[in-house]
Structure 1
Amino acid sequence: MACRISELVLDCADPERLAAFWSEVLGYVELGREDDGSIQIGPPDTGFGGPQPTLVLSPSNDPRTGKLPLHIDVNATDRDQDAELERLLALGARPADVGQTGTESWHVLADPEGNEFCLLHTRLQPI
């Protein structure tokens, strides 16, 4: 038997803002809130425990130092990479420089709090 990733937890200054951003990026909905201010978002039909992990936006005042040791990669499901890049930038993502050469097939972006993520080239089938 093996483990499965069920949720990813991202410490952030503004869980509301990031929950709204990542919900739009991933097509997720709010699944719940905790007393500590955490907001869990996930797929609208399956929620927690489905084939896709949920995302927990957890409030934190700890300052971020340097590049994240872990980042999220996303792939478009219903458009090409260029169209998805335009959509993500319109949602509030911004280009990020983590030392890429410019010849990569992916785009490095940052969410509204500066957390890096990559938009990969391959278009995937929706789940």
Structure 2
Amino acid sequence: MACRITGLVLDCHDPDRLAEFWCAVLGYEVIGHEPDGLELGVPGARLGDGPPTLVLAQSENPKRAKLPLHIDVNPAGSDQETELARLTALGARPADVGQTGEESWVVLQDPEGNEFCLLRKDIGAAGKQHG
């Protein structure tokens, strides 16, 4: 027997604002409402089927130092440059964490400053990942 990662929790000031961003980035929808946050996931998927859910937990003091864990995303049906333009239009901003410029990934921040990486490899159209 083993465990599987079924959810990732991200502390934030404004779960509704971040839900708009992350739902657009990942093709997720809000699948759960809690008094202190929102749960985002693949439309129609059951817990444990497909990728982990993302829980946006409201916090007055989200941690702002570099975390030992961050989110990586890959383009799904486009190239990295096209996806970078889409993410930037959604509100992502470049982040400097000491990159050399030789990396194959791009470090970004969501609208609240949480860092994530856009990797290079196209993993195919989003609909094909889950079905």
TM over 0.5: yes
CA contact (8 A) 1:68 1:115 kept: no
In 1, the alpha carbon distance for the partners of 2:53 and 2:31 equals 9
Quote the offset at 1:63 in angstroms.
4.6
Farther-moved stretch of structure 1 (46-55 vs 111-120):
46-55
Distance 2:123 2:7 in 1: 20
What is the root-mean-square deviation in Å for CA atoms of aligned residues?
1.1
Is residue 85 of structure 2 the alignment partner of residue 86 of structure 1? yes
Q: Unaligned stretches of 5+ in structure 1? A: none
Distance 1:50 1:81 in 2: 26
Distance in 1 between residues matched to 2:10 and 2:46, nearest whole Å:
17
Residues in 2 aligned to 1:66 and 1:9: alpha-carbon distance in whole angstroms: 16
TM-score, normalised to structure 1's length? 0.94
Q: Distance in 1 between matches of 2:46 and 2:81?
A: 29
- The aligned residue for residue 13 of structure 2 is 13
Unaligned 5+ segments in structure 2 are none
Q: How high is the sequence identity, in percent, across the aligned residues?
A: 61
TM-score by length of 2: 0.92
Cα distance in structure 2, aligned partners of 1:86 and 1:65? 25
Report the count of equivalent residues. Answer: 126
